[in-house]
Structures are given as C-alpha cells and as structure tokens.
C-alpha cells in the first residue's frame, strides 16, 4: 500500500461510520468500473486495432476532413 493511500485511510478512520461506509462504497464502485473498462478494452482490442488501421489509411488517402467539436 502506498504512503498516500495509508494517509487517506488514516484520515477516513476518524470520520463517522456512515461517512466511512459512503466513501468505501464509492471506492468499491470506482474499482469495479475500472475493472469493467479494462475488460471492455481488452475484449475489443482487435476491433479497435482494425478501426485504427482503417482510419489511418483513409487519412493518408485524403478521405477524411479535419473538423472541430462544434462541427461534428
């Protein structure tokens, strides 16, 4: 465990139980979300690679148009 995380846990430990539980639930949700995101990226990496290659080819062939966010 890092020193920063130890400091966080030490500071949280003096808070009321309800606040500790709220923070713990939020942290668990964040960890789960990160795991799901990592799994999604891992499962779709081949498709993402193919899309990247296609986009790069279309760019080199002049088939793309540069746009700002307001133009999408």
Residue at 68 is within a domain: no
Residue at 3 is within a domain? no
Q: Has residue 28 been placed in a domain? A: yes
| SS percent in the chain: helix, strand, coil, step 5 | 80, 0, 20
Residue 71 has pLDDT above 90, yes or no: no
Question: Using one digit for the tens of pLDDT, what is the confidence trace for 7-49?
Answer: 999 999 999 999 999 999 999 999 999 999 999 999 999 999 9
Q: Is the pLDDT of residue 50 over 90?
A: yes
Provide the residue range defining the domain that includes 33: 9-62
Examine residue 1 and state whether it is found in any structural domain, yes or no.
no
Q: How far apart are the first and last CA of the chain?
A: 44
Q: What is the pTM of this model?
A: 0.61
**Predicted pLDDT at 5:** 96
Q: How many domains does the chain have?
A: 1
Residue 44 counted as domain residue: yes
Mean pLDDT of 42-63: 96
Closest CA to 5 of 32, 23, 17, 22: 23
Residue 72 reports pLDDT greater than 90: no
- Does 15 reside within a domain? yes
Do the domain assignments include residue 58? yes
């Amino acid at each position: 465990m890092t020193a920063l995380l130890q400091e966080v846990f030490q500071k949280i430990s003096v808070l009321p139980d309800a606040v500790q539980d709220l923070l713990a639930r939020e942290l668990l949700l964040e960890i789960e979300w990160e795991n799901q995101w990592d799994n999604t990226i891992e499962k779709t990496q081949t498709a993402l690679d193919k899309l990247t290659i296609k986009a790069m080819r279309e760019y080199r062939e002049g088939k793309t148009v540069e746009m700002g966010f307001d133009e999408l």
